[in-house]
Structure 1
Amino acid sequence: MNAITHSERKRIAGIDSGLFWGYVATMIFMVGDGLEQGWLSPYLVQHGLTVQQSSMLFTVYGATLAVASWFSGVLAEAWGPRRVMTLGVLIWLIGEVLFILFGMEHQNYAVMLPTYAIRGFGYPLFCYSFLVWVTYRSAGKGLGTAVGWFWFALSGGLYVIGNYYSAYMIPIIGNIGTMWTAVIWVLIGGLIGIFLVKGNVSEYMGNSKEKLKTLKSGLTICYENPKVALGGIVRIINNTGIGGIPVFYPVYLSTHFGFTTTQWLQIWGTFWFVNIAFSVISGYISDKILGWRNTVMWVGSVGCGIMTLVLFYTPKAFGHSFLMVDLAAMLFGAVLSGYVPLTALISSLTPENKGASMSVVNFGAGFSYFIGPAIVGIFIGPIGAGGVVWIFAILYFISAVIMAFIKLPENHSALKQV
């Protein structure tokens, strides 16, 4: 299974033209998947749940998301990306309908837990399988840019369009009505991704023995290549703070500084709008100037450690200042994009087995949404919101230290490492 070279594919803005509709599908799908991320926790707290119960809901969701993220890469290689993407759409729709119909509409927490967990399997199988497709059809120096566009599409749908869409729709049709529209977004995105993405997926599939070997490699690669394991840890830290902040921060802003849910959604949407813009820029800078490792280490890790604290202490310093909190969120979103080259870096450590290394990276992305809410649930009571934020900040600084140990082989010509 060899990566397809640059010369064999037409490219649009640095991405394979055959995969163009996959990026579109990813963005649309993730609008449906993420439109509740910014408001579901405060909504549930307002309707009788505790912050700890809400964090448990997101923790269970993160656990299933992590499992699906782990297997998405190797399943995409073993079965083909298109089949795994189809499975992701079907599972997501089942979980969503059950969650709304029998859980959310009746405020039945016992039903919400398992059904939201089922939903968690959906988007990794759909989106991360497509990401494996991207890594195989993008070559060398262009891989950082191609991956940057993927995260542009995913984050743009999940956080930017989803948040602004919810801020507009909730006052009109309510929270549950807005939640039902997610089904439409996912159906449209799913159909586009399944039927319009071009390319022969048979190149990713071997015989039955090769498939078994691929699945096994997804479990053994961390032992065989410790640098891949370190990259997975950094990927977990990457989104740990981002996975935990929406669980408690909007409640904190509302309780202590009078921010409304609509204001929070606008702040969170702005955060991700800036992030997706800088994701493409960071992909280019990492390919052409800094190198993948230095971009992740200094821009992503150190930058996020600082800006996590800045975001929390800005309302303490300026009170109910929408402008200042929004500005802090914008800067945070910009430095978070520094983690974008991590996918290209880790997949390039094992060019002969990208699916397995991508499974580790994807698992890290999913597992962070387990760790983040879990940290909130465990520590919000004993040490408060400020203590939780410091935990997230310290984790980001730790990821910078870990990145010092992740280097490509000396003969790797795609980038500068230092």
Structure 2
Amino acid sequence: MQTSNQKQFLGLPLILIWGYIAVAIFMTGDGIEQAFLSKYIKILGFTSSNATNVLTVYGFVVAIASWLSGVLAEVFSPRRIMTIAFIMWIVFHVGFLTLGLAQHSYPLMLIMYGIRGLAYPMFIYSFVVWITISAPRHKLASAMGWFWAMYSIGIGVIGTYLPSFTIPFIGYMGTLWSSILFIFIGGMLAMFLVKDKKGATSDSKNMSKTEILREFVKGVTILKNPQIVIASLIRIINQLALFGLVAFMPAVFTDQFGYSMSEWLRIWGLMYIITIFTNLLWGLVGDKIGWKRQVRWFGCMGMAVSTLAFYYLPLWSGPQFWSALIAAILFGFAVAAFVPMTAVFPTLEPEQKGAAISIHNLSAGLSNFIGPLIATVSLQIGDAEFAIWVYTAIYIIGFILTFFMKVKQPKEIYQKGE
């Protein structure tokens, strides 16, 4: 149990502040290409299917790495895994640019970008384990809210807005090369400036190979807990539209709705600006009103409505910034309302936090994989409008699932002194 005198600022554990900053900077580098890569691959002469396949393969690898990261961090220490991750990211990003994109090699694009997908979840989800080790349990949603706020600042705000200014001057490839600087800085901060020793130590030196293997097996056997399975499904549903819309909406906004690429990037970036504040807001609110209630009404139903708004408001109004602004605000509020899910997993299995976080991370990674996959399949069956309705239906399913999720709420945890 964490000591009550740990210094905090609105639920932020100050001892980890440089880690939070590292996440923001790292995700800036990782997120630079997310809102334009599918469009750029098409510009190089590949099909829409080729573009979504690259993102789908990447998402599949992200899912695997997300699952492994929680147990890896618990066994070998969060700091060590974060260090390995940022080095791996740089190596395979260079391979993706030089061997894949520059050579117009579709197989090497799939391979290099796919393997690069191992790195970002290992970096950020190892830090999630670090947070669960250091933050008081009754304040865990607030601490996670700060984590997702830093994530949004990086991947969404700076990572999305920056290309809208750099692409006109240094082009798509120059922008992709610039991401390495952010990854390097974020990695160095995590290596040297986070002072909390809990994330720098591990039990691996005292563990046999069998014991280490047993820890990895826990990342699967923990699924015997039906509540973990339900929580996992809800967490997968959480970001399906977030990762899925970028696979086809850049083309829809530019080719169908009449926006420019820079306008699309700024709209998507605006949504992430909203999530900076809503991640913090929902982290604090969730600790007050209850995690399930928030996820059910503001998360699942909010995303069902806002996903529809992201398509229909610009469709009805034409390329008017105000309509996209409303859609971005609604989307930013709704997608962040799932923040307490990060706290739900270790609360359901307090004696197996690493394994529980691994399933959370796997679920987040599967969201990264299934989101673009839904787009790929939906666009083969119907059009963009059909795909939007598929995402909406899935969020309604998530709404129903929340009625079956049973987890101690923050007030219960606090009253028991956990």
1:271 and 2:268 equivalent? no
Corresponding residue for residue 212 of structure 1: 213
Residue pair 1:5, 1:138 contacting (<8 A) in 2 also: no
Residue pair 1:243, 1:373 contacting (<8 A) in 2 also: yes
1:31-46 equivalences under 5 Å are: 31-46=28-43
Corresponding residue for residue 14 of structure 1: 11
Residue pair 2:138, 2:410 contacting (<8 A) in 1 also: no
Query: 1:412–1:348: structure 2 CA closer, same or farther, 3 Å change rule?
Result: farther
Corresponding residue for residue 252 of structure 2: 252
CA distance in structure 2 between the aligned counterparts of 1:140 and 1:218, rounded to whole angstroms:
21
Corresponding residue for residue 361 of structure 1: 360
Deviations 1:208-240 (A, max 9, x none): 1553332221111011x1111111111111111
Residue pair 1:293, 1:345 contacting (<8 A) in 2 also: no
Deviations 1:257-316 (A, max 9, x none): 21111000000000111012111000000112x201111111111100111011111122
CA distance in structure 1 between the aligned counterparts of 2:410 and 2:142, rounded to whole angstroms:
21
Residue pair 2:290, 2:409 contacting (<8 A) in 1 also: no
Residue pair 1:376, 1:388 contacting (<8 A) in 2 also: yes
Deviation at 1:160, TM superposition (A): 0.9
Residue pair 2:63, 2:365 contacting (<8 A) in 1 also: yes
Instruction: State the number of aligned residues.
Output: 411
Deviations 1:90-143 (A, max 9, x none): 211111000011111222212100000011001111110011100111113211
Deviation at 1:415, TM superposition (A): 7.0
- The residue type equivalent to 1:96 in the other structure is H
Residue pair 1:85, 1:126 contacting (<8 A) in 2 also: yes
Deviation at 1:409, TM superposition (A): 4.5
Stretches of structure 2 lacking an aligned partner (at least 5 in a row): none
Corresponding residue for residue 297 of structure 2: 298
Deviation at 1:352, TM superposition (A): 1.1
1:175 and 2:172 equivalent? yes
1:15-414 equivalences under 5 Å are: 15-201=12-198, 204-205=202-203, 207-209=206-208, 210-223=211-224, 225-288=225-288, 290-409=289-408, 413-414=412-413
Does the residue aligned with 1:198 lie in a helix, a strand or coil? coil
1:4 and 2:5 equivalent? no
- The residue type equivalent to 2:298 in the other structure is V
CA distance in structure 1 between the aligned counterparts of 2:103 and 2:267, rounded to whole angstroms:
30
TM-score, normalised to structure 2, is: 0.95
Deviation at 1:320, TM superposition (A): 1.5
Residue pair 1:205, 1:211 contacting (<8 A) in 2 also: no
Deviation at 1:84, TM superposition (A): 0.7
Does the residue aligned with 2:61 lie in a helix, a strand or coil? helix
- The residue type equivalent to 1:380 in the other structure is L
Deviations 1:290-349 (A, max 9, x none): 201111111111100111011111122111112211221111111111100111112211
Does the residue aligned with 2:406 lie in a helix, a strand or coil? coil
- The residue type equivalent to 1:235 in the other structure is R
CA distance in structure 2 between the aligned counterparts of 1:312 and 1:163, rounded to whole angstroms:
19
CA distance in structure 2 between the aligned counterparts of 1:340 and 1:409, rounded to whole angstroms:
16
Deviation at 1:171, TM superposition (A): 0.9
TM-score, normalised to structure 1, is: 0.95
CA distance in structure 2 between the aligned counterparts of 1:149 and 1:265, rounded to whole angstroms:
24
Residue pair 2:346, 2:357 contacting (<8 A) in 1 also: yes
Deviations 1:189-208 (A, max 9, x none): 00001111112236652631
CA distance in structure 1 between the aligned counterparts of 2:56 and 2:178, rounded to whole angstroms:
24
Deviates more, 1:204-213 or 1:111-120: 204-213
Does the residue aligned with 1:253 lie in a helix, a strand or coil? helix
CA distance in structure 2 between the aligned counterparts of 1:276 and 1:72, rounded to whole angstroms:
24
Residue pair 1:6, 1:138 contacting (<8 A) in 2 also: no
Does the residue aligned with 1:149 lie in a helix, a strand or coil? helix
- The residue type equivalent to 2:398 in the other structure is S
Deviates more, 1:199-208 or 1:103-112: 199-208
Query: 1:203–1:114: structure 2 CA closer, same or farther, 3 Å change rule?
Result: closer
Deviations 1:378-405 (A, max 9, x none): 2203211111111111111111111111
Deviation at 1:83, TM superposition (A): 0.9
CA distance in structure 2 between the aligned counterparts of 1:184 and 1:100, rounded to whole angstroms:
15
- The residue type equivalent to 1:247 in the other structure is A
The 4+ residue runs of structure 1 with deviation greater than 6 A are: none
> Once the two structures are aligned, what percentage of the paired residues are identical?
38
Residue pair 2:258, 2:318 contacting (<8 A) in 1 also: no
Deviation at 1:256, TM superposition (A): 1.4
